[in-house]
Amino acid sequence: MKKELNNILFINTGGGIGDALSSLAIINYINSNFSVKNFYYFSNDFEYFWFENKLQEYKPKNLITIKNFPIGYGFEFKHRKVSKKLIDLFNFDQFDLIIDNQTRVNNSLVFKKIPHKYFVSPCINFLLSKPFYFTKKNNNLTLRIINYFNKILNKNISPKYNIKIPEDYLSKSRELMPNNSKYIGFSITAGHPTRNKEFQLDEIIKVANYFKKRNYIPVFFIEKKYTELKSLLREKIDNVFFPEEKVNEKFQNPMIVTALGSLTEYNITIDNGISHMLSFSNNKNYIFYNESSDKFKPASDKSVIFDCKLNNTTINSLKSDQIIEFINNN
């Protein structure tokens, strides 16, 4: 595979903000190890176009969001008929490289119909990829793809999560959380209302109060809409802090969470979009999953994972003592 790649297409079949942030580890790896002119990015995000709004501060300079592929592209086999024609949307005849970050055979067969020189998909352990390299299977989707490129490059490079946080976000964060106090960060709300992956509220309140008694200020990263939850936390936790309430509109976006998360002692979070924001804070993050942690966890060496399924429990059955013990032992 050539090191000079003018036009890359990255296809992210996940639609959430966490899925978009997860893709950054791969995109940043490719940008660091290849000479890339244009990094085209398509995501099934129902036209949220994350890197054009909420995630602008994370956006690589050469990333171009594709907005005119069919909605749900790849999930219907009939899309194979339109794949070849999609190249007409661009001013070149083929992509130098297409990266498909998922493992569904039908999706990969659809994407592979787009004209290209190289094609990379972890599907069937990279059997559909061009060039094909057999790689030892890694359960983590991010590491699977990075390990494939490591084999091509004959290198052993880990994904990088130490992005440059804009200085104005760091300054605002230091203003909100001066270094004369100690902080523990918490994220406890699931972005998707149908996914049962939250702590019991009484138990996480006990955890916050445990750290409060040890002279830490509990800092909760919670969206504005959770007014009742915040009122209850204020009632049950002395000196609890919601820093996002104190910022103006300019800073009301995910990068402020990353910046604030870099100033805590560490962060405690469930498997949600905020856990991926915190993974770029270059800080230690304890992330609690119901299941499938190996597959979806941030591939950062500062992510410490508790997988409930592997521990024969569920996240809403965890007691405060179990949470505290895991943190203190890791």
Residue 227: inside a domain = yes
Together in a domain, 177 and 257: yes
Give pLDDT, residue 238.
93
pLDDT one-digit tens code per residue, 72-93? 899 988 899 999 999 999 999 9
Tokens of 23: 């893709």
Tokens of 171: 């300054």
Mean pLDDT of 20-27: 94
Domain endpoint, select from 127, 153, 179:
153
Domain endpoint, select from 96, 119, 153:
153
Q: What is the pTM of this model?
A: 0.92
Residue 124: inside a domain = yes
Contact of 169 with 57, CB cutoff 8 Å: yes
Residue 137: inside a domain = yes
Contact of 63 with 41, CB cutoff 8 Å: yes
Owning domain of residue 189: 168-329
Q: What percentage of residues in the chain have a pLDDT greater than 90? A: 81
Q: What is the mean pLDDT of the chain?
A: 93
Residue 160: inside a domain = no
Together in a domain, 139 and 205: no
CA distance 225 to 94: 45
Together in a domain, 77 and 131: yes
pLDDT one-digit tens code per residue, 109-134? 999 999 999 999 999 999 999 999 87
Together in a domain, 315 and 208: yes
Grade residue 62 by pLDDT with cuts at 50, 70 and 90.
very high
Together in a domain, 112 and 195: no
CA distance 328 to 330: 6
Mean pLDDT of 15-23: 91
**Does 175 have pLDDT greater than 70?**
yes
Give pLDDT, residue 293.
80
Residue 161: inside a domain = no
Mean pLDDT of 32-58: 93
160 or 108, greater pLDDT: 108
Question: SS3 for 129-190, per residue?
Answer: CECCCCCCCCCCHHHHHHHHHHHHHCCCCCCCCCCCCCHHHHHHHHHHCCCCCEEEEEECCC
CA distance 221 to 226: 11
Residue 249: inside a domain = yes
Give pLDDT, residue 195.
56
Together in a domain, 145 and 217: no
Q: Pinpoint the alpha helices (H) of 34-100.
A: 80-86
Residue 113: inside a domain = yes
Residue 26 vs residues 17, 23, 145, 244: alpha-carbon distances, Å: 15, 6, 7, 29
Together in a domain, 51 and 135: yes
Grade residue 192 by pLDDT with cuts at 50, 70 and 90.
low
CATH number reported for the structural domain that contains residue 212 in this entry: 3.40.50.2000
200 - beta bridge partners?
none
Give pLDDT, residue 193.
55
Mean pLDDT of 209-232: 95
**Does 222 have pLDDT greater than 80?**
yes
Mean pLDDT of 181-200: 84
**Does 189 have pLDDT greater than 70?**
yes
Residue 159: inside a domain = no
Mean pLDDT of 211-233: 95
Per the structure, the count of domains in the chain is 2
Together in a domain, 172 and 231: yes
